[in-house]
Structure 1
């Protein structure tokens, strides 16, 4: 629906207290399986250059589980839409080189605890909502074809040369010597 509030990410630091996520944090925590995710590094405006997308995946391959929440959105006409959001946290040092946020990764040994909404209150699983260790993911520069939902296929995760942002040349301070130019 046009008036559908599309919330696909939720900040883990505030999800417990926000009205839009409070009930889901208490009753509908889920795991979102993925082989990776995309993120964009946007160079500072003063450096120029174009944004570079990255495919970020576990270094050891395989599937990772992101912390998620489910909710059912109800419209005024009584129709319902099941929705989901991935919880994010501050980026670890590695991901922080390209973006300030990252998905919360739930380790396999914590799956049951995260999913147990009957005995585990949100405050009791808050310690799981932290950045994963710095060496967990690898970041692969990929084509900007990932920016169009119409583009599908394995070529979206093929590595490309990393774009280097254009850096403005800073003027050299004159140290009292004559310049030929």
Structure 2
């Protein structure tokens, strides 16, 4: 039995990067996602007191895997792929987590790992990748960046899971 050759689509011209283009890529790859309209951050990150601001939104593509939630959005001239690991680390592990994050970031180009204290008083680990899209991107450029980013996120969180296997409380779904 032979496997059919995958269809390779010709590249497209370089055009503006929009969330709907990322939707097409994920659909072609058979990945599930959803689109949300989220409040857009205020210019310069802050609302000025006393000023009326028009409610603006930004499209966010959400996807993920069993161990991570991923959000993609275009912020100005930058495509941001941000993620958060599902595990929660006790706050007392802060120095060890900092060392782990520094080790990853010094040895890998991407993604950039970071951590913060969550409202539950635990440490949450996040990973981010960004692409300057001021000049647009072709289908192959955008597809390569998105798929390589997803792979890199999974690799980064696998690195974290090696250090904290006891925090893996989820199981892979199986079709029995």
TM-score band w.r.t. shorter chain: under 0.3
- Whichever structure has more helix as a proportion of its residues is 2
Which has the higher Rg, Structure 1 or Structure 2? 1
TM (normalized to structure 2)?
0.24
